[in-house]
Structure 1
Amino acid sequence: MNKNQIPVVISPCSEFPTPNNPLLHFNNANCMEQLLIHCANAIESNNATLAQQILWVLNNTTPSDDDSNQRLAGSFIRALTTRATRSCSCNIPEAVTRTANSYNYHHNLAIQTHKFSVIELANFIDLTPWHRFGYTAANSAILEATKGFTVIHIVNLSLTHCMQIPTLIDAIANHHEVPPLIKLTVAVNNCRNKNINHIPIPPMLDLSYDELGSKLVNFAKTRNVIMEFKAVSSTYSDGFASLIEHLRVQVQHYNKSHEALVINCHMMLHYIPDETLFTINDTNSNMNLNLNSCSSLRSLFLEAVRSLDPTIVVVVDEDADLTSSSLVSRLKSAFNYFWIPFDTVDTFLPRGSKQRQWCEAEICWKVENVIAYEGIQRVERVESKTKWEKRMRNARFQGVCFSEDSVLEVKAMLDEHAVGWGLKKEDEFLVLTWKGHNVIFASAWLPS
């Protein structure tokens, strides 16, 4: 995608382009973005007539499965159509809705309900460095921080259902003559509290966490590593409160000279509610922390983690800002971030392949959640690494620089993938890039 093209501004009062009007060329990313912004403005101001007009133009001028720019536009068209039918008094014509639903046909694979097998999910994740970058950086930081400990307690908060753990077990086995005991605790997002609103986040797994735990324990045995597995029912919706309480009981029995506590957060923290959703008063919290009355669950969680005095905390997440309360601002940020995964797909997956369909279905789910929903239903509240750095320092953590060995290991992993991926260091952060644009950040933190 050429991000330097001259933008084509289409004012709400101008004559709308049509499929036969050469004014509008949807291979121009800026032109697409401008029209999408006008549509979002119309929806946000409840201008049903204008929103219908723009959606009609978008639906009749954008191919549904062409290059990455057009597929990107299609995902936003679908999201805006959903938004218009939900939040504005728009009587969207059936033809427009039907066409919108045909965009990104792969989204109809229903990734929010499909359950992957372990092998399918592992293959899905290995396609790009999107997750492997974080795995590699995190594993390296964890190995360095836990040298000399005979017990390593890993608390894994991950979007990818412990797919990182086998590589971490391998690394620990290879770096210790006598491998330490590994205790693995995971949060299972099974919300049993009817008062807690919880939305399942793709990708989903087709087996229970008890079964997954057994597989991991057996895998560890093949590496001569003893591992204990514990699944705690706890959800992002309440800031993993029950997990924190479980850990608080556990750490009371730690011998800190022998047991390391590792909090590994892989693309999960941005689902914890932030200040843009609602605030929480410490009087109704069961975490027993002295916080300001306007503290968000996100800040509350980090304060709770700090109170456990962990050996190391690793935070890996997407480097974007999708938290604005303004639909238009959020659309701009999302459009200028989600072009990246659409563009990367073109470089390594053939059109029509099932793997490509699943990849783009996941992107479309994210786009729709960011654009079409508000309140507790909008769970994709990604924050930039700058904001996360501020949060971590406010919670009394200090950043740790990744070693040169860590950097070399990440670079070696990237060499296995398509040209276009890159790595840069920004202060204590490692940042995965695509064609020079920030994608994912990895960071490691110690209690200060």
Structure 2
Amino acid sequence: MPFTETLAPHLLADMNNKNQVHRTRPWPGLFPAGPKTTFTSFGDANCMEQLLVHCANAIESNDATLAQQILWVLNNTAPPDGDSNQRLTCGFLRALIARAARNGSCKMLAAVAASNYDIALLHETHRFSVIELASFVDLTPWHRFGFTAANAAILEAVEGYSVIHIVDLSSTHCMQIPTLIDAIASRSLEAPPPIVKLTVAWVAEEDGHVPPPPPLLDDVSYEELGRKLVNFAMSRNVTLKFQVVHSSYREGYSTLIEHLRVQNFYKDNCEALVINCHMTLHYISEETQLTTLLHDPNPSGNNPYPHFEPSALVSPRTMFLKALRSLDPTIVVLVDEDADFTSNDLVDRLRSAFNYLWIPYDTVDTFLPKGSKQRQWYEADVCWKIENVIAHEGAQRIERVEPKSRWVQRMRSAGFRGFGFGEEAVSEVKSMLDEHAAGWGLKKEEEDHLVLTWKGHNVVFATAWLPT
């Protein structure tokens, strides 16, 4: 049966549904006029979203015929080298084909799609040198916003301490640390700067059921990275002690927690403990499970989560935050993307991701030219995220971003209270944003939390917390 008789009535019903939530931002038409297609009445972002939703439902129900009809339309309206909206849709199209390859009778559909459609199913993520990654991070406020806000809060919280122990849980491989060291040195011109201890969690690439999320470093060990940081700190007259703990989000950083608990036992009143969480905590599973299934007893026989019974039903994220609270840190900074990819329903995840991940595609046009290598690296990283959200389930689906409101609730329940960002932090963030495109903005919300925006839409939030 032709497309207009099978799929179009469903789309029209969805688009006319009064309860349908429509996008508030303008999108250009994606179905081109002319002899190639007659579907110009569906040429907007709501239609693209509905096409993807119907394709997802067809794949889940093993309706290969309907799925192939929708894939044909999407392939003809969303080329991988098109405008930002088309590239976004193409990213989801590739992810749905990857999911079809794992799903029943639609495996044949995936093979047909890969061979007949102009779609590269494999998007290899780039491996950065340290210098490349530092330059890459500086291109956009996506990470710099969190760096700037976190550094300001940390400097205020550790004022007067002679030793600052920073535990860096970051997706950017310590790229925030040089700016923090530089700020510490600048504030210590009239007195000897404090000693800085830096602990990072190293996640082995073969650890877990899925490759680590981008960005990836190219043949640089964390030990070598530590030596570079120590030398940089020395050039700024700051003593830096660097250590790596082999731990991972898959086991809820339990090895790291146990390591910190032993170290924290000897901590005196002159040492500040800073926990810096930059876009990594959403990789910890949010699903409530038996703790005995998640955490095997460690070799020492100690329980890294002493506040929970071994067979307790509890979220690993809750366990981790409670464990952090037991360490009595001086400050905890939590920076992450303000979206929700946690639903177990594929369509809900697809809608949520589609209505958030248009932002990186839209912003990249403002700072990277079409066809540049950096742009290819940038969009390959976004495609990795899309595929993980859409094509994977269970332990392989690690992109489980939660909105700020839910993290605020988690932090309060774990025994933390908000530590507001002052005017100095706001001023520094605004100065940083002035270096980028005009679409970026800043919001200060309840308890003085900061939110990075793009054209008025929430992108990344920054929060700081003290033990209650």
TM over 0.5: yes
Task: Confirm or deny that 1:216 pairs with 2:229.
Answer: yes
Correspondent of 1:264 among 272, 276, 286: 276
In structure 2, distance between residues paired with 1:415 and 1:13? 42
Task: Confirm or deny that 1:443 pairs with 2:463.
Answer: yes
Correspondent of 1:163 among 165, 170, 175: 175
Whichever residue aligns with residue 262 of structure 2, its letter is: V
Correspondent of 1:280 among 287, 291, 309: 291
Task: Confirm or deny that 1:307 pairs with 2:320.
Answer: no
Whichever residue aligns with residue 438 of structure 1, its letter is: N
Task: Confirm or deny that 1:430 pairs with 2:450.
Answer: yes
Correspondent of 2:130 among 107, 114, 118: 118
Whichever residue aligns with residue 392 of structure 2, its letter is: Y
Q: Secondary structure at the match of 1:131?
A: helix
CA 1:97–1:218 in 2, change beyond 3 Å: closer, same or farther? same
Give CA-to-partner distance per residue, 1:227-251, whole Å, 9 cap, x none: 0000010011000111101000000
Task: Confirm or deny that 1:342 pairs with 2:361.
Answer: yes
- Counterpart of 1:20 in structure 2 is 36
Correspondent of 2:140 among 117, 128, 131: 128
CA 1:221–1:99 in 2, change beyond 3 Å: closer, same or farther? farther
- Counterpart of 1:387 in structure 2 is 406
Task: Confirm or deny that 1:289 pairs with 2:302.
Answer: no
Matches of residues 39-54 of structure 1 in structure 2 within 5 Å?
39-54=55-70
Q: Contact between 2:318 and 2:414, CA under 8 Å: does it hold in 1?
A: yes
Q: Contact between 1:75 and 1:367, CA under 8 Å: does it hold in 2?
A: yes
Q: Contact between 1:12 and 1:50, CA under 8 Å: does it hold in 2?
A: no
Q: Secondary structure at the match of 1:393?
A: helix
Give CA-to-partner distance per residue, 1:258-293, whole Å, 9 cap, x none: 0000000000000001117x4435995632333372
Correspondent of 1:187 among 187, 195, 201: 201
- Counterpart of 1:83 in structure 2 is 99
Structure 1 unaligned residues grouped into runs of 5+: 1-8
CA 1:178–1:273 in 2, change beyond 3 Å: closer, same or farther? same
Give the TM-score taking structure 2 as reference length: 0.87
In structure 1, distance between residues paired with 2:247 and 2:280? 13
CA 1:25–1:432 in 2, change beyond 3 Å: closer, same or farther? farther
Report how far residue 59 of structure 1 moved.
1.7
Report how far residue 20 of structure 1 moved.
3.0
Whichever residue aligns with residue 84 of structure 1, its letter is: A
Percent identical across equivalent pairs?
62
Deviates more, 1:153-162 or 1:45-54: 45-54
Report how far residue 164 of structure 1 moved.
0.4
In structure 1, distance between residues paired with 2:224 and 2:166? 18
Q: Contact between 2:101 and 2:110, CA under 8 Å: does it hold in 1?
A: no
- Counterpart of 1:6 in structure 2 is none
Q: Secondary structure at the match of 2:307?
A: coil
Q: Secondary structure at the match of 1:337?
A: coil
In structure 2, distance between residues paired with 1:99 and 1:382? 34
In structure 1, distance between residues paired with 2:456 and 2:11? 37
Give CA-to-partner distance per residue, 1:63-114, whole Å, 9 cap, x none: 22111010000000000011111124212164521355x44x6x85511xx4
Structure 2 unaligned residues grouped into runs of 5+: 1-6, 13-30, 298-302
- Counterpart of 2:425 in structure 1 is 406
CA 1:131–1:444 in 2, change beyond 3 Å: closer, same or farther? same
Whichever residue aligns with residue 71 of structure 1, its letter is: R
In structure 1, distance between residues paired with 2:420 and 2:317? 24
Report how far residue 197 of structure 1 moved.
3.8
Q: Secondary structure at the match of 2:355?
A: helix
Give CA-to-partner distance per residue, 1:394-415, whole Å, 9 cap, x none: 1011111100010000000000
Q: Secondary structure at the match of 1:352?
A: coil
Whichever residue aligns with residue 142 of structure 1, its letter is: I
CA 1:236–1:436 in 2, change beyond 3 Å: closer, same or farther? same
Q: Contact between 1:280 and 1:295, CA under 8 Å: does it hold in 2?
A: yes
Matches of residues 344-383 of structure 1 in structure 2 within 5 Å?
344-383=363-402
CA 1:88–1:57 in 2, change beyond 3 Å: closer, same or farther? farther
Whichever residue aligns with residue 404 of structure 1, its letter is: E
CA 1:36–1:99 in 2, change beyond 3 Å: closer, same or farther? same
Correspondent of 2:342 among 318, 323, 332: 323
Q: Secondary structure at the match of 2:38?
A: coil
Task: Confirm or deny that 1:200 pairs with 2:217.
Answer: no
Q: Secondary structure at the match of 2:341?
A: coil
CA 1:380–1:184 in 2, change beyond 3 Å: closer, same or farther? same
Q: Contact between 2:100 and 2:110, CA under 8 Å: does it hold in 1?
A: no
Correspondent of 1:92 among 109, 116, 125: 109
RMSD: 2.2
In structure 1, distance between residues paired with 2:253 and 2:295? 17
Whichever residue aligns with residue 59 of structure 1, its letter is: N
In structure 1, distance between residues paired with 2:83 and 2:290? 42
